[in-house]
């Protein structure tokens, strides 16, 4: 991943400049909150997807930096909103924006970022790019609402889980790849193929997040862990464990997830059941299958540093430890 970041270092710097130009405001809280969250150590994973896809077709127009900024703005807006919904206290090892400035300021700053993204698109985009981004925002909202509706429900299926993930997480990575290809003049079939690559990468990224919620520590992750269990979220390791568990164990997990704040003892038992029934290993196997799918799709494109970078990003999404 460090090699990929080095390869795109100048383009990521240009993206940072485009972001700074777009978030000027004479209301102090807005740039303060945005700078707080954007300067806290993120790798610009999603803009990197857009830049990589554009580079596969040797696209060099500076417009790509503005659209890479849009992708990061939308991602940042979702972080601000999610931390309010999740009552998060930390983000990337530091105090979360909602903890520091309050819920209202965080939500409204997220709205400012979304509005800024719309403005950039209106100034520099074509209608197809606007359609891609608007549809992505719709899918993300649906995914978040479906997750809210399914929270704490033991009847959440793997199909439900994948729909949630493909909305709230993978829709953004898919759009990043599709927009990069669209800007570069790729064919409709190439755009669809790279959108599928982005969908797989985003799904892998979220599955890995779900695994890390069971297997990391707070210092390593830079945010609260076991949060999914505490919030009653049915993630893939847990769904698999509930399918394999005995009736009594399923009832225990269901009760633990649905009755308010879970106790530390119950949380530890849920984690133990997930581990013992192979929930983490199953989730990793599903992630590995999607990496194989990415490799197969990218094999239809000419070999290039950008193509290799996309595969590296996919593998990073599966193997990262935070």
Distance CA 43, CA 187 (A): 29
Distance CA 33, CA 51 (A): 26
Who contacts 246 (Cβ-Cβ below 8 Å, separation ≥6)?
Answer: none
Distance CA 295, CA 74 (A): 27
Q: pLDDT value at position 85? A: 86
Say if residues 63 and 183 touch (Cβ distance below 8 Å).
yes
CA angle 165, 187, 64 (to 5 degrees): 70
Say if residues 203 and 175 touch (Cβ distance below 8 Å).
no
Q: What's the pTM value of the predicted model, to 2 decimals?
A: 0.92
Beta bridge pairs of residue 95: 90
Strands (E), the chain: 90-91, 94-95
Q: pLDDT value at position 152? A: 72
CA angle 12, 170, 215 (to 5 degrees): 90
Blockwise average pLDDT, block size 10, the chain, 322 residues: 95 94 88 87 88 98 96 95 88 89 95 94 90 96 91 85 96 98 97 98 96 70 61 88 94 80 86 95 97 98 97 95 81
Asked whether residue 135 is assigned to any structural domain, the reply reads no
Angstrom CA distances, 120 to 65, 144, 275, stand at 11, 25, 46
Asked whether residue 151 is assigned to any structural domain, the reply reads yes
Asked whether residue 146 is assigned to any structural domain, the reply reads yes
Asked whether residue 106 is assigned to any structural domain, the reply reads yes
Asked whether residue 172 is assigned to any structural domain, the reply reads yes
Q: pLDDT value at position 219? A: 52
Asked whether residue 216 is assigned to any structural domain, the reply reads yes
Instruction: Name the DSSP letter for residue 234.
Output: -
Distance CA 209, CA 211 (A): 5
Q: What does the radius of gyration of the chain's CA atoms come to, in whole angstroms?
A: 20
- Work out how many domains the chain is built from and give that number: 1
Check which CATH number belongs to the domain holding 203 and give it: 1.10.600.10
Q: pLDDT value at position 166? A: 96
Question: Which domain does 205 fall in, by range?
Answer: 2-130+140-319
The total number of residues shown for the chain amounts to 322
Structure tokens at 295: 């490799």
Buried b (16+ CB within 10 A) or exposed e, 118-133: bebbeeebeeebeebb
CA 196 to chain centre: 15
Asked whether residue 124 is assigned to any structural domain, the reply reads yes
């Amino acid at each position: 991943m460090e090699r990929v970041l080095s390869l795109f270092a100048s383009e990521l710097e240009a993206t940072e400049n485009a972001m700074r130009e777009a978030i000027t405001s004479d209301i102090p809280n807005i740039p303060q909150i945005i700078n707080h969250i954007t300067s806290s150590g993120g790798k610009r994973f999603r803009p990197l997807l857009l830049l990589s896809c554009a580079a596969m077709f040797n696209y060099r127009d500076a417009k790509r930096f503005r659209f890479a900024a849009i992708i990061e703005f939308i991602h940042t807006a979702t972080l601000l909103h999610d931390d309010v919904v999740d009552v998060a206290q930390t983000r990337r090892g530091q105090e979360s924006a909602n903890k520091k400035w309050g819920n209202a300021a965080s939500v409204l700053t997220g709205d400012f970022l979304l509005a800024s993204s719309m403005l950039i698109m209106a100034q520099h985009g074509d209608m197809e790019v606007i359609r891609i981004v608007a549809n992505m925002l719709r899918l993300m909202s649906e995914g978040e609402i479906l997750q809210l509706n399914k929270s704490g429900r033991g009847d959440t299926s793997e199909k439900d889980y994948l729909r949630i993930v493909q909305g709230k997480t993978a829709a953004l990575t898919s759009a990043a790849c599709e927009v990069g290809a669209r800007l570069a003049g790729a064919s409709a079939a190439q755009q669809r193929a790279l959108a599928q690559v982005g969908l797989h990468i985003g799904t892998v990224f979220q599955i890995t997040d779900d695994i890390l919620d069971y297997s990391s520590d707070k210092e390593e992750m830079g945010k609260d862990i076991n949060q999914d269990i505490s919030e009653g979220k049915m993630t893939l390791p847990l769904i698999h464990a509930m399918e394999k568990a005995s009736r009594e164990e399923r009832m225990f997990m269901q009760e633990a997830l649905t009755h308010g704040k879970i106790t530390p003892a119950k949380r530890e038992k849920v984690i133990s059941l997930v581990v013992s029934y192979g929930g983490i290993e199953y989730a990793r196997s599903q992630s590995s299958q999607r990496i194989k799918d990415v490799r197969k799709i990218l094999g239809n494109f000419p070999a290039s540093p950008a193509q290799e970078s996309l595969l590296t990003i996919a593998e990073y999404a599966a193997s990262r430890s935070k």
